[in-house]
Amino acid sequence: MRAILLMVLAACSAERPFDGTAGTVHDPGILDAQSDRFHGKVLAENGWDLTVCMTCHDQSKPGAAPACETCHARGAAGCGSCHGNPPPSGAHTTHTATFACATCHPTPSDWRDPDHMGDAPRFAFAAIAGASAHFDGTRCTNVYCHGASLGDSCHPKDAPHVDGIVEAPTACDGCHGQNGNPAPPRDLSGNVFTTALGVGAHQAHLTAPQRLRGPLACMDCHVVPNAITSAGHIDSPPPAEVVVAAGWDRTSATCTNACHKDARPVWTKTGEAVCGSCHGIPPANAAHNPSMQLTDCVTCHSSSVDANGYPIVDGGNSEHINGRIDF
């Protein structure tokens, strides 16, 4: 390549015209990016020394050959002179719509900086990418931008996305629940069906549609934080902790407590907690006989059931399922 440049110098000294074609100053391919004689490749072989080029292309001299700016708006110093700005390869365009080049590449103060001109791109991820970010030449791994370092599952819909800052929601339903109701559905994974463990029978317990008892409060099963950032809340990974008294068994998705006695209805199934699922109608013990009906319950349990045998729910409270047998 050095020999080619010397030939150019000799030709210019002889005042031969430049037109970029065979038989003139430059070899064929001087303007062809695919050619070994492409001027960018020739310059790279020569250590990006423009001294020889300026013999003919120095615009201060009369009759000078075309300047770099004829094709490159910013000349040799422009980023787009050697590669697009941004380069059209890979996902450059997608990324530069949001990020500056310096987020992934060292930005040189001068195009001739030793760490700039080379055979391979240099990657020096900015702090936003995370300390363990890595690029193998094809794929990025362990990069915050793509979620690898995110431990959160809760982001407000109107929060900026990949900006290195995690915006916490201001209400409980920002992460779980919806429309002012903090209990799933939606769970932390976005599930809305009761067959998902994170959803299950939350609403059945908070609204008590079967009226077997009054609605439960969140604090009956969970430690409710005073604030989103309270210790023990989002500083530990899911699932949510359940109070010990509930007797929660995640493996079987059941609770072992006084509420359901020995019935143990499965959390992710419906229709398992109905009148008669915790005790028979009537219970099979010496205090009852098989001929008794629901309407007979009030005879002994008037504080907890009505004349039809249905649990009394007063002001959201019930003495039916509370672990005590009332007479």
CA angle 238, 262, 272 (to 5 degrees): 70
Q: Answer yes or no: is 58 within a domain.
A: yes
User: Quick check: is 35 in a domain?
Assistant: yes
Range of the domain at 22: 2-71
The whole-number average pLDDT for the span 184-204 is 92
Give the tokens for residue 259.
């509420």
Average pLDDT of the segment spanning 96-116: 81
- Identify the residue whose tokens are 């996305």: 161
Coil, helix or strand at residue 313:
strand
Phi, psi of 145, rounded to the nearest 5 degrees: -55, -30
Q: How distant is the alpha carbon of residue 165 from its chain centre?
A: 12
Quick one: average pLDDT of 228-250? 86
Task: Please say whether the beta carbons of 124 and 133 come within 8 A.
Answer: no
Is residue 181 scored above 70 in pLDDT? yes
In a domain, 137, yes or no: no
| 155 inside domain | no
pLDDT score of 117 more than 80: no
Q: Is residue 17 part of a domain?
A: yes
User: Domains in the chain: how many in total?
Assistant: 1
The DSSP bridge partners found for residue 181 are: 178
Helix runs in 60-186, H state only: 79-82, 92-96
Confirm whether 136 is domain-assigned: no
Alpha-carbon gap, residue 97 to 144, rounded angstroms? 17
Note whether residue 298 is domain-resident: no
User: For residue 25, is it within any domain?
Assistant: yes
pLDDT digit string, tens, across residues 269-314 = 988 887 777 788 888 888 899 999 989 999 988 888 899 988 888 8
Mean pLDDT across the stretch 265-272? 89
Q: If we measure between CA atoms, which residue out of 213, 208, 248 comes closest to residue 324?
A: 213
Q: What is the pLDDT of residues 119-162, one digit of tens each?
A: 666 778 877 777 788 888 888 888 877 766 555 656 655 556 66
- Tell me the pLDDT band of 21, cut-offs 50, 70 and 90: very low
What is the Cα–Cα distance from 327 to 308, expressed in whole angstroms? 16
Largest CA distance in the chain: 124
